[in-house]
Amino acid sequence: MAEINGPKHVAIIMDGNGRWAQMRGRPRLMGHHAGARRVREIVEACPAQGVKYLTVFAFSTENWKRTQSEVAGLMKLFRRYIQREARDLLANGVRVRFIGDRVRLDDKLVKMMDELELLTSDNDKIHLTVALNYGGRDEVARATKRLAFDVAAGKLAPKDVGDETLAQYLDTCFLPDPDLVIRTSGEARISNFLLWQSAYAEYEFIETLWPDFTADVFAQVLGNYQTRDRRFGAVKV
């Protein structure tokens, strides 16, 4: 049964794939493939943990700076993941959505993303959001641009713009804010992930490399969350 105080929305910065592969004398892409298998395992673990929303950082706006072969390998992996997993995601009640700027992604991948979103749009058991070509600053800038166009078109009055207004223009407008953000591989930084949405999130930075992040490790991290005292800026009375 789901824990009453468990996080409803968990967001994960899946770091350490490259090091995991290099430690084994294998190419970095091997680590990404092993990482993709963990995504499946963690999605499957969510219902038993009471996690309704899972958001994973798969490719950042900065990841284009990697070698051309790693970027191409990752894009191929995303296409393969969609192709291979679509049927099970649908059958398992997973609703998949993507956040990030699609403009720089290749047309074939974007078409597959659109189709998977449509295919799973009636599902409601787990909401899996994949951040692809995503950056928090880029998201806020794109949202602000759309909002400015609406102001210029007279659809929105400047005096009515507040934080909830901007939130509706973000890629994540369909999601609640994350309760818990996990980063694997021992790095303690946010790397431009869900900057706006994580204002009151709890963070867990753990040493485990992403390809070693099993359902058991996930359960342990969620257990730590239960001990947190979330006050959202208020004082407990």
Which chain residues interact with ligand FPP by CB under 6 A?
14-19, 32, 35-36, 39, 56, 58, 63, 77-78, 81, 130, 185, 210
Of 58 and 147, the one with the shorter C-beta distance to ligand FPP is: 58
CA-to-CA distance for 213 and 14, rounded, in angstroms?
Answer: 9
In sequence order, the β-bridge partners of residue 132 are 59
Nearer to ligand FPP, 63 or 123 (CB): 63
We find the least distance from the C-beta atom of residue 234 to ligand FPP, in angstroms, to be 35
Positions marked catalytic: 15, 63
Adjacent-strand bridge partners of 180: 10, 202
Cβ-contact 29, 21 below 8 angstroms: yes
Least distance between ligand FPP and beta carbon 40 (Å): 9
- Minimum CB separation of residue 33 from ligand FPP in Å reads 7
CA distances in angstroms from 232 to 178, 200, 235, listed in the order given? 13, 6, 9
Q: How far apart are the first and last CA of the chain?
A: 29
CB 156 within 8 A of CB 150: yes
To ligand FPP, the closest distance from the beta carbon of 70 in angstroms equals: 8
Nearest to ligand FPP of 143, 209 (CB atom): 209
The answer to whether residues 126 and 47 touch, using CB atoms and an 8 Å cutoff, is yes
H helical segments located in the chain: 17-23, 28-49, 68-91, 107-119, 136-152, 163-169, 215-225
Q: Using alpha carbons, select from 133, 48, 33 the residue that is nearest to residue 84.
A: 33
Q: Which is nearer to ligand FPP, 3 or 187 (CB)?
A: 187
